[in-house]
Structure 1
Amino acid sequence: MELIIVDDHPLFREGLKTIVKRDANYSVVAEAGNGKEGIELGKKLRPDIMLVDISMPGKNGIQMIRELKDAVPETKFIIISMHSEADYIVEAFRAGATGYMIKESAASNLIKGLETVAKGELFLDSALSQEVVFKLLQSKGGGSDSPQDPYSTLTSREQEVMRMLAEGLTTKEVAAQLYISPKTVENHRTNLMKKLGLQSTVELIRYAARLGLIDLDTWAI
């Protein structure tokens, strides 16, 4: 089975490739250092499985999976992240991931995760807490009465603006990068804040960090 690794740390990618080489059933055909490159490679090579980090420059792993899951429906996605909090993991599975493991477990669990996902089953790292399992069951078994995840109600452009604002970009900087007017950025900001029920930039940053969109350690709040 062909794999693509998407992680912004070259040494960690090398470590994953070393583990994969132990099993002749799998081979790494490409690697990327950010979500944008991962999307391009995924669409071009259409691998069997992609190993994806969450926190990366530009598009993060969750955004990448959302964009790829319809374009390459046959591809499976395993998140390998330092984040073990329930909110990150639930959001990853909602986005379309089929497996999740923490980086500390990769050496011992990677092949098992690949085998599980290759069989069409979901893989959840055994090192993760029971809270994660409970939240996953809630999100999958709540039926039509379950409240919709606020983040999923945002348009793709609103999600993009949200991430950039949470990373500390000004309205003018966001406008320049997206080739839209500052007024349009402000409109998107107003709409997304209303949908998410947020009142301030600090709340926006914390919300984005909880989803794994940014690293909260970079902010002194």
Structure 2
Amino acid sequence: MTVDEQRAEEVLPTPSEANPIRVLIVDDHALFRRGLEMVLGQEVDIEVVGEAADGAEAVTMAKEMAPDIVLMDVRMPRRGGIDATSAIKEAVPSAKIVMLTISDEEADLYDAIKAGAMGYLLKEISIDEVAADIRAVYGGQSLISPSMASKLLSEFAAMIKNKDDRPQLPTPRLTDREMEVLRLVAKGMNNRDIAKQLYISENTVKNHIRNILEKLQLHSRMEAVVYAVREKLLEIT
């Protein structure tokens, strides 16, 4: 994705009843899909355009419907959610995918990020929070449960220890403020919380994140965290 494409994604039309966020729900439990559909159906700016019971069906439906957001379970029959995420991102690059799962395995989180997911949420969150999370991802934010954020950093800390002898590549220089923002992103904080923490506006946070992505030539906040940990730009405690 080019810088221009990243900026174009940030200038999305404001969702409304006339222009709702189109959502595809993917989960192998029919009862969960129905419950989620009922909750989201009460939101005037969100429209559930389809449901899929496994990854294979999700890929087919995503190609046909080109949803804005895909809520994707991780472990499903026939084709898992992570493999389906890779396929959907290749076929429908504009679709933003959020993993909504019971799996708190570090490997699943890591693989989901590599596959292109913009969020990783555990099903322990309140179902009423899902609508707000959908709006946040549609608006360009990446979401990750705080407990999973710490696991992500632990996973990459272990990777670093195992690869200390690999050649170190030169890395772009981030400003002190950009490093502050990146550290808070790594803790799972959203733009609003980062703005409060640093006493700056949300727009300023967005600008810092955009600059970080441009400098690192990456596509998402989570990829930036992964990169920063791998290249030892962030200290792991």
Q: TM range, normalised to the smaller chain?
A: 0.5 to 0.7
Unaligned ranges ≥5, structure 1: 146-221
Q: Give the number of aligned pairs.
A: 146
Question: Cα offset for 1:33?
Answer: 0.5
Is 1:139 aligned to 2:159, yes or no?
no
> Structure 2 vs 1, CA of residues 127 and 25 (structure 1 numbering), >3 Å: closer, same or farther?
farther
| 1:73 is the counterpart of 2:76 | no
Would you say the 8 A contact 1:6–1:35 is kept in 2? yes
Q: State the partner residue of 2:76.
A: 56
Alpha-carbon distance in 1 for matches of 2:153, 2:31: 31
- Confirm whether residue 5 of structure 1 aligns to residue 25 of structure 2: yes
Quote the offset at 1:100 in angstroms.
1.1
Equivalent residue in structure 2 for 1:92, among 99, 112, 127: 112
Structure 2: which 5+ residue stretches go unaligned? 1-20, 157-185, 187-224, 233-237
Contact 1:80 / 1:106 at 8 angstroms: preserved in 2?
no
| Corresponding residue for residue 150 of structure 2 | 130
Q: CA deviation at 1:107?
A: 1.1
Partners of 1:128 and 1:5 lie apart in 2 by 22
Q: What root-mean-square deviation, in Å, do the aligned CA atoms of Structure 1 and Structure 2 show?
A: 2.3
Q: Which residue of 1 aligns with 2:209?
A: none
One-letter code of the match for 2:88?
Answer: L
Q: Deviations over 1:110-142 (max 9, x none)?
A: 122111101111011245362234547663225
Distance verdict in 2 for CA 1:14–1:121, change over 3 Å: same
2:44 maps to what in 1? 24
Aligned-pair distance for 1:21? Answer: 1.8
Runs (4+) of structure 1 moved beyond 6 Å? none
Specify the SS of the correspondent of 1:58. Answer: coil
* Alignment-derived partner of residue 103 in structure 2: 83
Equivalent-residue separation in structure 2 for 1:40 and 1:85 (angstroms):
27
* Residue 139 to residue 54, structure 1, CA distance change in 2 (3 Å): same
Q: CA deviation at 1:85?
A: 2.3
Q: Secondary structure at the match of 1:105?
A: coil
Q: Is the 8 A contact 2:68 2:96 kept in 1?
A: yes
- Percent identity of equivalent pairs: 29
Inter-partner Cα distance in structure 2 for 1:135 and 1:66? 21
Aligned equivalents of 2:76, 2:93: Cα separation in 1: 23
Instruction: Provide the secondary structure at the position in 2 that maps to 1:59.
Output: coil
